[in-house]
């Protein structure tokens, strides 16, 4: 167990896990409530990730594109670091990362034609936070954790041009617009960042 002070906030770190239940207030963009743990995603999180993704897909009024397949989530969690937020052992947020070589979806191929990134860059996303937990810094904290897992590497992502909430959140996290592309009549923006 390691305790350290960062910008007047105390963090308790246990075995590569940021325990957010030990302090009520964190600095900028971090959690401000109890009982949430940000950790590396495990295979035991797959069901919770899929459930949260489904609740936030386009068919259910959300902005997530497509459907996450269990086999794909298992593969990426096994191959690349991904992050989950858990409250009371339930997944309330997730951020997946993917190797560019694993990109088999046509929208990803179109994005990578528009902007391929650096040689060792990776794909960021999707990121999703339970509706009841939004606005509490979970997305920013998961993003910080992912960058810690993948230091000195560029992450690439796309966002629908009309998803103003996501655009604002990702710009606030320091991501930069690299280009745009159109896929099946919908405009997307490509963002990138380096850790």
d(Cα 24, Cα 12) in Å, to the nearest integer?
12
What pLDDT sits at residue 58? 62
Report, as an integer, the average pLDDT of 94-99: 95
Q: Edge-to-edge strand order for the sheet containing 17-19? A: 2-6, 9-14, 17-19, 36-40, 83-87, 90-99, 122-129, 154-160, 186-194, 176-183
Q: What pLDDT band is residue 135 in, cutting at 50, 70 and 90?
A: confident
Helix (H, G, I), strand (E, B) or coil at 126: strand
Q: What pLDDT band is residue 67 in, cutting at 50, 70 and 90?
A: confident
d(Cα 195, Cα 192) in Å, to the nearest integer?
10
Q: How does strand 154-160 pair with strand 83-87?
A: unpaired
What pLDDT sits at residue 38? 95
Contact 159, 150 (CB under 8 A): no
What pLDDT sits at residue 22? 39
Contact 59, 77 (CB under 8 A): no
Residues 24-61 have pLDDT tens digits of: 333 333 333 458 999 999 999 999 999 999 887 766 56
Helix (H, G, I), strand (E, B) or coil at 190: strand
Distant-in-sequence, close-in-space partners of 161: CB < 8 Å, separation ≥ 6? 167, 180, 186, 187, 188, 189
Report, as an integer, the average pLDDT of 101-130: 91
Distant-in-sequence, close-in-space partners of 8: CB < 8 Å, separation ≥ 6? 27
Residues 136-174 have pLDDT tens digits of: 899 999 999 999 999 999 999 999 999 898 899 899 999
Average pLDDT, the chain: 81
């Amino acid at each position: 167990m390691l305790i350290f002070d960062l910008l007047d906030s105390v963090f308790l770190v246990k075995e590569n896990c940021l325990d957010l239940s030990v302090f009520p207030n964190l600095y900028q963009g971090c959690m401000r409530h109890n009982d949430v743990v940000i950790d590396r995603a495990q295979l035991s999180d797959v069901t919770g990730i899929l459930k949260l993704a489904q609740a936030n897909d386009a068919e259910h009024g959300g902005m997530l594109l497509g459907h996450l397949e269990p086999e794909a989530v298992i593969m990426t969690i096994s191959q690349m670091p991904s992050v989950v937020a858990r409250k009371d052992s339930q997944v309330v947020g997730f951020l997946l990362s993917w190797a560019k070589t694993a990109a088999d979806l046509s929208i990803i191929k179109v994005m990578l034609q528009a902007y391929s990134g650096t040689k060792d860059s990776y794909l960021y996303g999707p990121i999703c936070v339970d509706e009841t937990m939004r606005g509490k810094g979970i997305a920013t904290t998961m993003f910080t954790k992912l960058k810690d897992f993948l230091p000195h590497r560029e992450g690439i992502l796309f966002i629908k041009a009309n998803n103003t909430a996501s655009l604002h959140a990702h710009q606030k996290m320091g991501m930069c617009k690299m280009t745009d592309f159109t896929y099946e009549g919908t405009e997307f923006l490509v963002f990138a960042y380096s850790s």
